[in-house]
Amino acid sequence: MSTRTVRIVVLVLVAALVLSGVGLAVAGLTGGDGSGSSSGGAGRSVPAPTTTPAPGAQDPPRPALRKYYEQEIAWAACGDNECARLTVPLDYAEPAGETIQIAVLRVPAGDPDRRIGSLVVNPGGPGAPGTTYAAQAGLAFREPLRERYDVVGFDPRGTGFSTAVDCVSDEQLDVFLAADPAPDDREEADALEQAQRAFNAGCAAESGALADHVTTVEAAQDMDVLRSALGESTLTYLGASYGTKLGATYAELHPDRVGRFVLDGAVDPTLTAREQTLGQARGFETAIRAYAEDCVDSGDCPLGDSVEAGLQRLTDFIDEVDAEPLPTGGERELAVGNAITGIIAPLYNRDYWFLLTRALTAAFEGDGSQLMQLSDLYSSRGPEGYQDNSSEAILAINCLDDPSAVDPDDIPGQVAAFEEASPTFGEVFAWGQAGCLGVRAEATVETPEIDAAGAPPILVIGTTRDPATPYAWAEALAGELESGVLITRVGDGHTGYNVGNACVDEAVEDYLVDGTVPEDGLRC
């Protein structure tokens, strides 16, 4: 899911997996460098990909790209899985020029004799590493998918173990993420603007030409090279959050190569930056109110005895931390930026609301360590530093896709509209519109309008109280795609597959395993 709010870094299911206590070191990867009708409908069937490959499966869009499309993946042992690197051009307009590396990880199908093919997955962000997502297949995907598919994750260009962007040092990133995301006065506003401009200038200075080539369009082009290298005639894909934008972009660029596609927690690519940010403000207000109500109803809630009193207590607490950071028992104090991130992180999944209750209970007693842990997990920060570049890549990618930014002098006049959408977080979201100030990278490709005309049915999942990708976005994307099929999960949290809703799970698995298209408008 793309967001313009600097500190609300959406890591989707990866964040939830980390919060569950499951860590991962991906061995072997080091840092650095079918067709069908165009309308969906219940009972329709989408054929499985041909993996032998079929005639023309490796034909590139242009002859100059043939060497990339015909490369063979050299898999090597990677812990319990298999890892490899894919070579792609830095600039698809100059395929004979500089190349970059894309990290790929495969979890082989549990039932090789009944293997369908490869299921390529992306967890969102942008910036979240897909290799980690695939390696966590035992948690992220249910047995019907794991048994029949090789689960294949890749780190999109500029991220993770692929050739990665760099913007600032770990020490600078600590300061950047800890800073007040909603300035209290002119001095703080000037400091925020300077920090934002320095961060974005750093991406260009530290990453060189790569900073100009991490668009969603180019990542989608890489996916087609990956499809060919995997030997698949069509791409079978499950993308979450921002991964839905990536998948929809692929479908627009290569509708004839779309196989069984699932887009979960959908992004509406037609929204302006302001519309997107306002939508998320409303979404997170819905989530924090749902959390507060659940906390109050459960009894012994640190927020108090009512939702309104609880949200006021939370707002007062944020102001208190802004004035005086809390000790954490370590060298770093819990500053206001960390506190807000730590509060937001567990809202992605109802199962982790108890972690927020524990963290707030401790924080109200003067101990910021648990909120800091949640903030660090959300930002992929370990004891020795950041474990990936997701907190940098999200801005590098988003601001290359759309470099628009609101002048800081104009933001105070917009705060009221954002606070109407979210009394709790509105000011933070309003100031998030300054996230692309000072961007120096320039995209060399255009972002297309998306309808994926000619693609077979594409499943789009929306959750009614999703904080990060509001349900209206799924409705919109399903309508924008010529072959969109909408599935609605009624509930809380981000994304709909494998979060305890059997109706959604069965619809997704029947489609990906058997090719059976569910009824458009299915409500679960």
Helix axes 273-298, 307-323, angle to 10 degrees: 110
Q: How far is CA 117 from the centre of its chain?
A: 24
Q: What is the DSSP letter of 277?
A: H
Q: What is the largest CA-CA distance in the chain?
A: 67
Report helix, strand or coil for 459: strand
CB 170 within 8 A of CB 385: yes
Q: Kindly provide the residue ranges of all beta strands, DSSP E only, lying in 241-319, ordered along the sequence.
A: 258-264
Write down the residue that tokens 């995301």 correspond to.
181
Catalytic residue numbers, as ranges: 241, 466, 494
Instruction: Determine if the peptide bond prior to 53 is cis (ω within 30°).
Output: yes
CB 347 within 8 A of CB 313: no
Q: Which residues contact 94 (CB under 8 A, 6 or more apart)?
A: none
**For residue 296, how many other CB atoms are within 10 A of its CB?**
18
| Closest residue by Cα to residue 334 from 171, 179, 185, 173 | 179
Q: Return the C-alpha torsion angle 119, 66, 33, 134, nearest 10.
A: 0
Q: What is the DSSP letter of 510?
A: I
| Closest residue by Cα to residue 19 from 360, 331, 280, 353 | 353
What is the C-alpha separation between 427 and 73, in angstroms, rounded?
Answer: 48
Residue 523 phi/psi, 5-degree rounding, is -115, 125
